[in-house]
Amino acid sequence: MGDMSATSKVRIMLVEDHIAFRQALAFVLTHDEPDLEVVAQVGSLAEAREALEGPLDGHLDVVAVVDLGLPDGDGRELFGELHRANPSISIVVLSATLEAGHLEEVVKAGADAVLEKVVSSLSLASEVRRVVGG
């Protein structure tokens, strides 16, 4: 995974179609965690793909696919694309429903971590650091 030196920030893209939740999560991660930086926020698969093809290409450490049920498809569709574009990227999924079989499918699809949406911001930040090797 990525190298977390004292001067570098973990760069994160949030993929979540509920804008208020996405903005609140971005605020908490950016303002409460000085080593984390939300560099992009998108609400659909199409927006995520557009961001990845633009200035973010190869410049992300973590993608938090917060909502697998996006308006234009399943967030898991992004996992392979993300790993092809940036093999060292980590994927953290926040889900409102974590059934045993569903959890296994998400991990097999390429998620590095799967957490419940009710997790604290401190726990999320810790998991983001863990998956990038910090």
Instruction: Provide the whole-model pTM.
Output: 0.86
101 token code pair: 């079989």
39 token code pair: 């560099």
Is 130 among the domain residues? Answer: no
Is 134 among the domain residues? Answer: no
Is 7 among the domain residues? Answer: no
Is 104 among the domain residues? Answer: yes
Distance (Å, whole) CA 7 – CA 62: 17
Question: Which pLDDT score, from 0 to 100, does residue 7 have?
Answer: 57
Question: Which pLDDT score, from 0 to 100, does residue 58 have?
Answer: 61
Question: Which pLDDT score, from 0 to 100, does residue 17 have?
Answer: 92
Name the one residue in this structure whose structure tokens are 């973590």. Answer: 62
Is 92 among the domain residues? Answer: no
Is 35 among the domain residues? Answer: no
Encode pLDDT of 92-126 as tens digits.
Answer: 998 887 676 788 888 899 999 998 888 888 899 99
Question: Do 103 and 75 contact (CB within 8 A), yes or no?
Answer: no
Question: Which pLDDT score, from 0 to 100, does residue 95 have?
Answer: 83
- What is the count of structural domains for the chain? 1
Is 6 among the domain residues? Answer: no
Question: Which pLDDT score, from 0 to 100, does residue 57 have?
Answer: 59
Is 62 among the domain residues? Answer: yes
Mean pLDDT rounded to a whole number for the chain: 85
Question: Which pLDDT score, from 0 to 100, does residue 1 have?
Answer: 44
Range of the domain at 111: 19-30+42-67+75-86+100-117
Encode pLDDT of 29-72 as tens digits.
Answer: 988 899 999 999 999 999 998 888 876 656 788 878 778 888 99
95: left (phi over 0), alpha (psi -120 to 50) or beta: beta
% of the chain surpassing 90 pLDDT: 37
pLDDT category, 134, cuts 50, 70, 90? low
